[in-house]
Amino acid sequence: MWRRLRIAVLLLVLASVAFSAWHAKANATAWKGTLRVAVYPLAADDSAATRRYLQRLGEDSFQPISDYLNSEAARHGVTTQRPVDITLGGEIRQLPPPRPQGGSVLDSILWSLQLRYWAWQHSPPTSPKPQVRLYLIYHDPALTPRVPHSSGLEKGMLGVVHLFADPRQTAQNHVVAAHELLHTLGASDKYDMATGLPLHPDGYAAPFQEPRYPQSEAELMAGRLPLGPDRARIPDSLDETLVGPASAREIGWRR
């Protein structure tokens, strides 16, 4: 009897968590009001360069990302005044649980639950309350020339984004952060997982231009700018990217 009751309560809790996650996402991607995004910086190491970079971050450091998304939303027909707003939250001192490398599906599910629990514990109050939370982990490139993979989770609408604490990388950091932000809203990757090359046509900014190569812009969710059938490069800044129609549909900008 008690056992059955406990299981029923547990199922009820899980169902309510799932429902509230679904509801939050449906609400965010209806684009009826401004989507509130909070970014929380974290230092991956104790290098002086990373500390300096974090100290220089201000509210306007992330304006290029919101300006870009707002103009892309308008281009896709969103009529909300300011669809995306990004607020800088306080620095967080404890790193999130690391993503398992090459683990099983169960490992990833467990990690995503751990991460949601960690985020729940590490959401310093910002006003207004954010719908999407991005944890920006900054690495000194002299210590970490290759940063771990970033993740944007649709369930819970949160992202862990690995970036470089170097002013010369700021514009490229914006590309990575915007890409993960769209993941939290339901956009999928548009590149070949094996080769990293953009998938045609959805991963191309101008899929039907003649000749097809080189492209002059990258599709944000493809992550790379195609230069030839087997060559692509990382865009230097958001100016070299756009949100294609397939990604726009996934996040509710197009019906």
Alpha-carbon gap, residue 91 to 51, rounded angstroms: 11
User: Whose Cβ is closer to Zn ion: residue 77's or residue 98's?
Assistant: 98
User: Whose Cβ is closer to Zn ion: residue 66's or residue 184's?
Assistant: 184
User: Whose Cβ is closer to Zn ion: residue 91's or residue 189's?
Assistant: 189
CA atoms within 13 A on the CB side of 63: 5
User: Whose Cβ is closer to Zn ion: residue 42's or residue 178's?
Assistant: 178
Q: Which residue is nearest to Zn ion (CB)?
A: 189
| Minimum separation from the CB atom of position 183 to Zn ion (A) | 6
Alpha-carbon gap, residue 113 to 104, rounded angstroms: 14
User: Whose Cβ is closer to Zn ion: residue 85's or residue 189's?
Assistant: 189
| Minimum separation from the CB atom of position 73 to Zn ion (A) | 19
Place of tokens 């991005």: 134
| Minimum separation from the CB atom of position 187 to Zn ion (A) | 8
| Minimum separation from the CB atom of position 74 to Zn ion (A) | 24
| Minimum separation from the CB atom of position 33 to Zn ion (A) | 26
CA 147 to chain CA centroid, nearest Å: 15
Helical (H) or strand (E) element with 71: helix 63-75
User: Whose Cβ is closer to Zn ion: residue 39's or residue 181's?
Assistant: 181
| Minimum separation from the CB atom of position 174 to Zn ion (A) | 15
Alpha-carbon gap, residue 133 to 164, rounded angstroms: 19
In three-state secondary structure terms, 163 is strand
**Of 162, 182, 184, 183, which is closest to residue 173 (Cα–Cα)?**
162
| Minimum separation from the CB atom of position 221 to Zn ion (A) | 7
Alpha-carbon gap, residue 40 to 50, rounded angstroms: 15
Helical (H) or strand (E) element with 21: helix 2-28
Answer yes or no: are the C-beta atoms of 50 and 165 closer than 8 Å: yes
Residues near 213 by beta carbon (within 8 Å), at least 6 away in sequence: 226, 227, 228, 229
Structure tokens at 59: 């509210």
Give residues in contact with Zn ion (CB under 5 A).
Answer: 189
User: Whose Cβ is closer to Zn ion: residue 188's or residue 209's?
Assistant: 188
